Structure 1
Amino acid sequence: MPIRVITDQSDREAPAQSGASLLLELELWPHQSLTPKGFVIMIGGTFAMLMVPLVGLIGTAVLWGVLPFMLLVLGALWYGLQRSWRDRDILERFELTAESARLTRRDPDGSTRDWEANPFWMRVERHDKVGSIEDYLTLEGGSRSVEIGSFLTPEERRGLERRLLNAIGAVKLRR
């Protein structure tokens, strides 16, 4: 599951000390269905299947005409799978304390984007349909509205919404 709960103290009683401790900490990332082992199997299997027709061409001049195209197909598959992995290298980290809510997103190019708001004034909004995305989630508050978990499935976004609403409700009750 592409959601990891690192800390969830939102259902516990308020601590006696300052509320600076983390109440909720989550990491979100896109689902990666192709494992490194699966990548090796895919490339190896494709290579084997592409070489089967070449067995009959061994020792002929035609082999040298067909071989570059077979290798080009294999190289295109390799590049496409690597590019897909690189494009899905996204990590969103949400941290909630009694004083602040913070969302940090690391994009595939390595850049990071931050958003911060006061949890007392923050809202979680779920939009039924935005374009082709169902159950689109946004965090509103602070200087702007930001999306969270856009790469998750609709069911995962609904579960994330419930978890965020419970944690924010707990923060508001503690004040």
Structure 2
Amino acid sequence: MSIGKHDCDGDAGERTQISERPVFDATITPHRSLGRNGFRIVMMLVCLASIVSSIPFVVLGAWPVAGFFGLDILALFIAFKVNFNAARAFERIVVTPLEVLLRKVSQHGKEAIWRSNPAWTKLEREQDEDYGLMGLSLVSRGRSVSVAAALSPQEREGFADALGAALASARQGADFSAA
């Protein structure tokens, strides 16, 4: 009798594991075309160009111009630093048969979590005939949250198709007979 009960508990455990298994799991990060090595190369070239350009001014006695070249380098460095800090933001979307979980983390580390049942969640698209898919939102029970804002319209379109298919699959539920 205890063996039969153990088998039933095992089946329930497998069902729980299957229902918690992600149907869709994606992390979206902002695109950055310049990596750390590229940044170093650009900054070295800008510093070299600034030094070479400021030498004639220093020789002619207009030495304050060299200081302005230095301020340009500092401004460029700060702009890159802000850009790299913004790249720390990300969105993670996980869809299981029981839950849609959206976790947004800002560049400052502030986290916002949105949860919903896939049966009540729909994907709304904001389409522009000239530019493509401009906005994408998850909507559930009157609550709406924007997703995939960091993607280009073409990337967002592919993402929307994959997420829509995952939501449809999650609504159908886990196939416990396959386990």
- TM-score bracket for the superposition, by shorter chain length: 0.7 to 0.9
Q: What is the SS of the residue equivalent to 2:119? A: coil
Does residue 62 of the first structure (1) align with residue 62 of the second (2)? yes
The whole-number CA distance in structure 1 between the counterparts of 2:21 and 2:53 is: 64
Q: TM-score, normalised by structure 2?
A: 0.80
Structure 1 contact 23–96 (Cα < 8 Å) conserved:
yes
Structure 2 contact 105–111 (Cα < 8 Å) conserved:
yes
Partner of 1:88: 87
Structure 2 contact 123–136 (Cα < 8 Å) conserved:
yes
Q: Whose helix fraction is larger, Structure 1's or Structure 2's?
A: 2
Gaps of 5+ in 2: 1-13, 175-179
Partner of 1:13: none
Matched-pair identity in %: 23
Q: What is the SS of the residue equivalent to 1:32? A: coil
Runs of 4 or more, structure 1, over 3 Å off, are: 57-61
How much has 1:148 moved relative to structure 2?
0.5
Partner of 1:31: 31
Partner of 2:42: 42
Partner of 1:100: 99
Q: TM-score, normalised by structure 1?
A: 0.82
Does residue 125 of the first structure (1) align with residue 124 of the second (2)? yes
How much has 1:57 moved relative to structure 2?
4.3
How much has 1:134 moved relative to structure 2?
4.0
Q: What is the SS of the residue equivalent to 1:123? A: strand
How much has 1:66 moved relative to structure 2?
1.6
How much has 1:76 moved relative to structure 2?
0.4
How much has 1:168 moved relative to structure 2?
1.0
How much has 1:40 moved relative to structure 2?
0.6
The whole-number CA distance in structure 2 between the counterparts of 1:164 and 1:106 is: 20
- Indicate how the Cα distance of structure 1 residues 133 and 170 shifts in structure 2: closer, same or farther if over 3 A, else same: closer
Q: What is the SS of the residue equivalent to 1:52? A: helix
Structure 2 contact 133–154 (Cα < 8 Å) conserved:
no
Tell me the alpha carbon deviations over residues 25-52 of structure 1, each in whole angstroms, 9 at most, x when there is no partner.
1100110111001111111111111112
How much has 1:142 moved relative to structure 2?
4.6
Aligned ranges 1:6-17 → 2 under 5 Å: 17=15
- Indicate how the Cα distance of structure 1 residues 142 and 20 shifts in structure 2: closer, same or farther if over 3 A, else same: farther
Bigger CA radius of gyration? 2
The whole-number CA distance in structure 1 between the counterparts of 2:126 and 2:82 is: 30
